A and B are shown apart, each in its own frame.
Chain A
């Protein structure tokens, strides 16, 4: 019984050649192979060359222009501040001048009053010239 079963199993599992045209049929049944999707190839070489050639000088030029503009701005602000300071100092000085002349006039007035006032009989005016 078991010998019979083994023989049947061996016969069923024996290697069998593929029928003719099997490979072609299988290959036809497979979906067509797609080409691998590659990222678009960009030609970077000219830009890279430009950066490599002019990058540093351009950076220097930009820095120079920026420095000049910044310097001009700082100079203008400084000039404006100095002009304001000069004006404030000038106005303060002119106020001082007017104040000085007021004090001078007060004291001249005092001298004038002292000279013009007739001397009292008690003789409290000691000396008037």
Chain B
């Protein structure tokens, strides 16, 4: 009887579905948008999990100044996920899926640092940061235009100072990210004259 129970348990364990990978802190559940890739005129689908990102960092050329800076930045990251689709027709993408991702960014910890809406061009751009103990652990960008939508999710210890150092490269604009300055040591008071 015991053997039968053990065999049953072993069979159940073997046939049980594999556990889903645990999402990292700051990682969004981004749909695959597999059906959209056929409809889109241009698409960018980048999924760099910690393992792939580590490999990508190792293969960056340290002699290339642009890549050298990225190499420094990406060692502290644990994932980069990008979905970007361009269409020939307006709003050919499911707005509900984009809104679903947007809703995740309204969860606890996430703060919107940039939000821009243009009724004229029908463009929405939101930049979110997940803050944990004063440190950025995730970055989310959702940009939707009539013929294009982009979702970017960068996971890991995002060093704003290093991101700041990339400004001007890759045409990254100066977002006015201010890095915390170390407080200056108090100046010794001059001796009081008696």
Contact = CB atoms under 8 A, between A and B. Distances in A.
B56 interface: yes
A110 B123 contact: yes
Contact of B59 (A93, A103, A112): A93
In order of increasing CB-CB distance, the 4 nearest A-B pairs are: A114-B116, A93-B56, A124-B120, A90-B59
B118 A97 contact: no
A111 B152 contact: no
B114 A111 contact: yes
Contacts, number: 130
Contact of A111 (B53, B121, B143): B143
A109 B115 contact: no
19 contacts: A91-B59, A94-B60, A97-B46, A97-B56, A99-B82, A100-B80, A101-B80, A101-B166, A104-B141, A105-B169, A108-B173, A111-B125, A111-B127, A112-B175, A124-B120, A126-B118, A126-B119, A127-B115, A129-B114
Interface residues on A, range: 35 or more
Main secondary structure of the interface of A (DSSP, over half): helix
A107 B152 contact: yes
Given A99-B46, A124-B119, A128-B116, A108 B56 contact: no
Given A93-B53, A94-B56, A129-B114, 20 more contacts: A90-B55, A90-B58, A93-B55, A94-B57, A94-B59, A97-B57, A98-B70, A99-B46, A100-B44, A103-B44, A105-B170, A107-B125, A107-B141, A107-B143, A108-B172, A108-B173, A110-B143, A111-B141, A112-B173, A129-B112
Interface of B: 44, 46, 48, 52-53, 55-60, 67, 70, 74, 80, 82, 84, 112, 114-121, 123, 125-127, 141, 143, 150, 152, 154, 166, 169-175
Contact of A115 (B57, B58, B116): B116
B54 to A, nearest CB: 9
Interface in A12-55: none
